[in-house]
Amino acid sequence: MPPLQPSFASLGVPIDIVAALDRKLITEPFPIQSMTIPDALAGRDVCGKAPTGSGKTLAFGIGAVARLTGRPARPKHPRVLVLTPTRELAAQVAAELQLLATPRNLRVDSFYGGVGYGPQLKALSRGVDVAVACPGRLGDLIERGSIKLDAVEIVVIDEADRMADMGFLPDVKRILDLTPSDRQTLLFSATLDGDIDVLVRRYQHDPARHELEVDEDDINAAVHLFWKVSSGDRIDRTADVIAAAGPTIVFSRTKHGTDRIARQLEQRGVRAAAIHGDRSQKQREKALDLFVRGAVDTLVATDVAARGIHVDGVNAVVHFDPPADAKDYVHRSGRTARAGATGVVVSFVTPDKAAAVKSLQRHLDVPMGTTVPDMASIKAVIGDPPKRRPSQDRVPDSATTPGGKGPTRGGRPGQARRQGKPWKARPVGAGYGQSSASGNPRNGSSSGNPRNGSSSGTTRNGSSTGAEYASTGSSDRASGSPKPVRAGGGPWEQRTKRAKPGQPGKPGQPGKPGQSGKSGKPGKRNRHDKPGAPGAGTSSSRRARTGSSAGGGHSGGSHDQRRSGPVGAKRGAGGGTRGR
């Protein structure tokens, strides 16, 4: 008769924490939890060796939270300190510990870089019972005097081997030296050799050692495939794997490659999000949240995610670039086939990486050699591809109209572009610069809004002869004849703007006498300081005083005068050409 499976209550877990676990449908402990929780509850130092995804977080979390009794933590003095190597892992550990701490009204908060200090300092000033921190940000807070470690009762070192790989061990040692010597220390790692053994011997007192032996069935839970592909075919093969397997994590060697892979997968219709060290913490958290909720199909990541991502339901892992060593391969592949589930690990082997992959296979004791890409091997493990979840809260970078005519302007994404009004031909008689009852107010319309407030028939500069082109009409131009040129005008003819097609101009108020500038302000004098009648002080009237004829002169005299000085001094008797 097989032994009975222990329950959390039989391990000595308090009733309120057992109830909190039941509400999350967590009823049976994992093997590493069954081994370590009793010693943790008894106050002993614990040294646990277990692979990634074996349930270590609840193993140390239950023991730490259950032993917190008495009054709450003082400001800046946490009572439990949990050290993690990455930001994502710190956030996820804090979320799981909050589940256990809520029934006891304990405060849990996380402290890591990439975000502002303000919220973290505010949390410390209120008091934090359980602080989950990365060594770098915790060191900064200690230097600022924002946190004190002299009241820490329990220290947890999670993923200790990963901290050693990332070079955090010197920081970890300095932090442990600031804590009381009679603290309880819980250390969990996938390996216990080398630098990790130094931590155990120096900072733990007679620890209870527990090693989870992984049997052969658990190793074979993930099917390892090594596909021979060319470098240019990897994107298409990745899209095929995601379509066949469902939720997938793709690992790239570089940060730039991560962004490029995500962008190219999006172009092939695969919803992808990238996560790497150059992204802000907000961007990394958003990408991870989209993947957890199923709003994206795949998460493209560098090795920063190999230990920092704990997501259930990952069906496949793709090594787009082979890992540097066997340890990285194990940590990457550990994102799938977690806690007894099945999964597929696909490695792309390009010709230039064949020798390195062969050495990796020999070291890991996995099937040697490579095969051609075969999606049937994935379906044999995963089964039918899971249904794709609709993403309603993820807006693509560029929404297109139903007709596929590119991004819309304004309105909601995907909404059809508002159609403009049809173009209308210019009515006969509303010629270039001609006075018209419904013309454009910018070309001298008698009923438009004159720019200078003159009473009738003015151009933009206020000339009283603004309609001298009216005799040419617009029918000539409508029939294809060239633009009319005034006799003697040459290249200096007035260049007024054409009326825009469409709606006629709005009727405006005529200018008031004695004004040569903006309309609507009575009493303003012209620049010659002469009160005037309509058109007084304009360039055409000045040209008339200098002997220039109104019929052959230039109605835009102010423009001509700015270029060549007084009109009468530069022009001949006809006033038609500029003086040479």
Query: How many Å apart are CA 72 and CA 166, to the nearest integer?
Result: 34
User: What is the pLDDT confidence band of residue 383, given thresholds at 50, 70 and 90?
Assistant: confident
> What does each C-alpha distance from 58 to 31, 108, 109 come to in angstroms?
11, 15, 16
Among 194, 211, 228, the domain boundary falls at 211
57-71, 190-204, 354-368, 400-414: which is most confident: 57-71
> What does each C-alpha distance from 98 to 31, 94, 459 come to in angstroms?
22, 6, 75
The sheet carrying 272-275 orders its strands as 222-228, 343-349, 316-319, 248-251, 298-301, 272-275
192-196, 258-262, 330-334, 338-342: which is most confident: 258-262
The answer to whether 346 and 377 have CB atoms below 8 angstroms apart is no
User: What is the pLDDT confidence band of residue 177, given thresholds at 50, 70 and 90?
Assistant: very high
Q: Has residue 362 been placed in a domain?
A: yes
Task: Identify the weakest region by mean pLDDT among 63-72, 373-382, 509-518.
Answer: 509-518
Same structural domain for residues 188 and 241?
Answer: no
Among 211, 238, 263, the domain boundary falls at 211
Same structural domain for residues 446 and 522?
Answer: yes
Per-residue pLDDT, 163: 87
479-489 burial, b at 16+ Cβ within 10 Å, e below that, comes to: eeeeebebebb
Q: Has residue 163 been placed in a domain?
A: yes
- The predicted model gives 141-161 an average pLDDT of 94
Same structural domain for residues 204 and 250?
Answer: no
The answer to whether 378 and 241 have CB atoms below 8 angstroms apart is yes
Cα of 24 vs its chain's centroid, Å = 31
Same structural domain for residues 167 and 226?
Answer: no
More confident of the two residues 268 and 479 = 268
Residue 76 DSSP symbol: T
Query: How many Å apart are CA 171 and CA 149, to the nearest integer?
Result: 14
Closest by CA to 220, choosing from 364, 348, 370, is 364
Same structural domain for residues 123 and 136?
Answer: yes
Q: Has residue 423 been placed in a domain?
A: no
- The predicted model gives 68-84 an average pLDDT of 93
Number of domains in the chain: 3
Per-residue pLDDT, 426: 55
Per-residue pLDDT, 112: 93
Q: Has residue 405 been placed in a domain?
A: no
Q: Has residue 204 been placed in a domain?
A: yes
Same structural domain for residues 368 and 437?
Answer: no
Element (H, E) at 562: helix 557-564
Query: How many Å apart are CA 161 and CA 183, to the nearest integer?
Result: 21
Whether pLDDT at 84 is above 90: yes
Cα of 79 vs its chain's centroid, Å = 36
Closest by CA to 57, choosing from 21, 25, 23, is 21
C-alpha R_g of the chain: 40
Same structural domain for residues 222 and 328?
Answer: yes
- For residue 46, the SS3 value is strand
Single-letter amino acid, residue 119: P
Task: Identify the weakest region by mean pLDDT among 137-151, 211-225, 292-306, 420-434.
Answer: 420-434
Mean pLDDT of the chain: 74
User: What is the pLDDT confidence band of residue 305, given thresholds at 50, 70 and 90?
Assistant: low
- The predicted model gives 109-132 an average pLDDT of 94
More confident of the two residues 424 and 171 = 171
Closest by CA to 304, choosing from 288, 292, 290, is 288
Among 193, 211, 229, the domain boundary falls at 211
- The predicted model gives 294-302 an average pLDDT of 93
Q: Has residue 318 been placed in a domain?
A: yes
DSSP string, 511-549: PPTT-SSSTT-TT---TTS---STTTT-HHHHHHHTT--
User: What is the pLDDT confidence band of residue 133, given thresholds at 50, 70 and 90?
Assistant: very high
- The predicted model gives 312-320 an average pLDDT of 91
> What does each C-alpha distance from 381 to 112, 220, 376 come to in angstroms?
38, 11, 9
Share of the chain above pLDDT 70, in %: 62
**Non-local CB neighbours of 70 within 8 Å, separated by 6+ positions:** none
Same structural domain for residues 317 and 465?
Answer: no
Same structural domain for residues 498 and 529?
Answer: yes
Same structural domain for residues 350 and 272?
Answer: yes
- For residue 429, the SS3 value is coil
41 class by beta-carbon count within 10 Å (0-12 exposed, 13-18 middle, 19+ buried): middle
Same structural domain for residues 164 and 312?
Answer: no
Whether pLDDT at 514 is above 80: no
- For residue 288, the SS3 value is helix
**Non-local CB neighbours of 119 within 8 Å, separated by 6+ positions:** none
Q: Has residue 404 been placed in a domain?
A: no
The answer to whether 147 and 131 have CB atoms below 8 angstroms apart is yes
More confident of the two residues 2 and 296 = 296
User: What is the pLDDT confidence band of residue 492, given thresholds at 50, 70 and 90?
Assistant: very low
Interhelix angle 118-126/135-144, nearest 10 degrees: 70
Residue located via tokens 């008698």: 446
DSSP string, 290-303: HHHHTSSSEEEE-T
Range of the domain at 263: 216-382
Residue located via tokens 């994992």: 30
Closest by CA to 304, choosing from 131, 195, 162, is 162
Whether pLDDT at 47 is above 60: yes
Query: How many Å apart are CA 302 and CA 160, to the nearest integer?
Result: 20
Can you give the CATH number for the domain in which 91 is found? 3.40.50.300
Q: How many CB atoms lie within 10 A of CB 282?
A: 10
Element (H, E) at 558: helix 557-564
Element (H, E) at 349: strand 343-349
State the Cα torsion 564-570-574-576 to the nearest 10°.
-30
Q: Has residue 409 been placed in a domain?
A: no
Whether pLDDT at 548 is above 50: no
385-389, 503-507, 548-552: which is most confident: 385-389
Query: How many Å apart are CA 287 and CA 161, to the nearest integer?
Result: 26
Same structural domain for residues 335 and 440?
Answer: no
- The predicted model gives 410-438 an average pLDDT of 46
103 class by beta-carbon count within 10 Å (0-12 exposed, 13-18 middle, 19+ buried): middle
More confident of the two residues 512 and 19 = 19
